[in-house]
Amino acid sequence: MKELIERIRREGKVLDGGILKVDSFVNHQVDAGLMDACGREFARRFAGIGATKVLTAEISGIAPALAAALHLGLPVVYARKTKPITMPDAVLLTVAPSHTKGVMTELIVSPEYLGKGERVLIIDDFLASGATIMGLVRLAQAAGAAIVGVGALIEKSFEGGRAVLAPLGVPVESLAAIKSMENGKIVFDE
């Protein structure tokens, strides 16, 4: 998606450890108009998959998932990383390694909002190793729901997440795919 790629080119910064900083428009400050345009693009790409719910992980997944859900006319559920007191005692829980924190984090969903018969579209900010998204896949599968698609704003193709998701046999879409960040230079897969 041209608008997103241009913005990454202009404001994205490559930090140590292979981290792409996009805090000025995705991860701390959010460009609401750009996010809305990304949501519209996700809705266009996933129009035909018959999704009934969008699933994401707090915190950074919320903005793109909400925008996609709005344009698809669906509710969105965001997996929590700590169990709030409003959640029932029996929950769906898995653990996934956090890319930017270097630790394992829990992903928790209440069975009240994810269950059998749901057709789940997973949306997240990044598709890198695929570890967080596979965590969401496990939660949906544990709930008896079907995964019908995976979308990410930004894919780091060189981290191999797409191959990890391939066995799911569902469409995987990213709006900006980066094939290399060597020496601080961002090269897109165009």
The footprint of a copy of itself (CB under 8 A) covers 15, 17, 19, 21, 23-25, 27-33, 35-36, 54, 58-59, 62-63, 66-67, 69-70, 73-78, 80, 84-87, 100-101, 109-110, 112-113
Closer to a copy of itself by CB, 2 or 85: give it. 85
Give me 42's structure tokens: 């996700």
Q: How far is the CB of 162 from a copy of itself (least distance, A)?
A: 24
CB 108, CB 93: distance < 8 Å: yes
10-47 CB burial, b ≥16 within 10 A, e <16: eebebeeeeebebeebbbeebbeebbbbbbbbbbebbe
How far is the C-alpha of 170 from the C-alpha of 180, rounded, in Å?
A: 25
Q: How far is the CB of 55 from a copy of itself (least distance, A)?
A: 10
Q: How far is the CB of 167 from a copy of itself (least distance, A)?
A: 28
Closer to a copy of itself by CB, 17 or 167: give it. 17
Closer to a copy of itself by CB, 33 or 160: give it. 33
Q: Of 190, 136, 184, nearest to 161 (Cα)?
A: 136
**What angle, 0 to 180 degrees and rounded to 10, lies between the N-to-C axes of helices 62-72 and 32-45?**
50
Closer to a copy of itself by CB, 29 or 183: give it. 29
DSSP single-letter state for residue 51? -
Q: How far is the CB of 158 from a copy of itself (least distance, A)?
A: 19
Q: How far is the CB of 4 from a copy of itself (least distance, A)?
A: 15
Closer to a copy of itself by CB, 23 or 166: give it. 23
CB 162, CB 155: distance < 8 Å: yes
